[in-house]
Amino acid sequence: MFSIPGLKVISLTDAAAARVREIAARSDDGALGLRVGIKKGGCAGMEYTFDVARDVRPGDEVVEENGAKVIVEGKAVMFLIGTELDFKVDKLSSTFVFNNPNQTSACGCGESVSITPRKDVETTA
């Protein structure tokens, strides 16, 4: 667990919460919600990851807003603190969008990012 007074690991816009609820409802195996994380990759160094969440693992942070549940992988918490997750739909695509204050740059195609972890966070067991 982490602790910064008044700051969540991740918050959801109404559109993101609606999409997470839809993903969980359409899952055939009783999904909890959406699992969000990061991994090394891409030309900028890191990529955001998504998966259907079927469990909560040690170190994960669980965020519940507007009836939607997002599980943030433990290794991603320091990189995502303060992030707003949105869901955008336009004529050609629909996608989750990370408004991450820790993101320092992104590649030209938008598929990978550079993120600096927060240093002012107290973690608790």
Mind listing the pLDDT tens digit for each residue in 62-81?
A: 999 999 999 999 999 888 88
| CA 24/CA 34 separation, integer angstroms | 7
Which residues, at least 6 apart from 123, have a Cβ–Cβ distance to it below 8 Å?
1, 2, 3
Given this model, what pLDDT does residue 84 score? 94
CATH of 2-120, one of 3.30.1330.10, 2.60.40.10, 3.40.50.2300, 2.60.300.12: 2.60.300.12
Given this model, what pLDDT does residue 120 score? 59
Given this model, what pLDDT does residue 3 score? 46
Half-sphere exposure (CA, 13 Å, Cβ side) for 31?
19
Residue 4 clears pLDDT 60, i.e. is over it: no
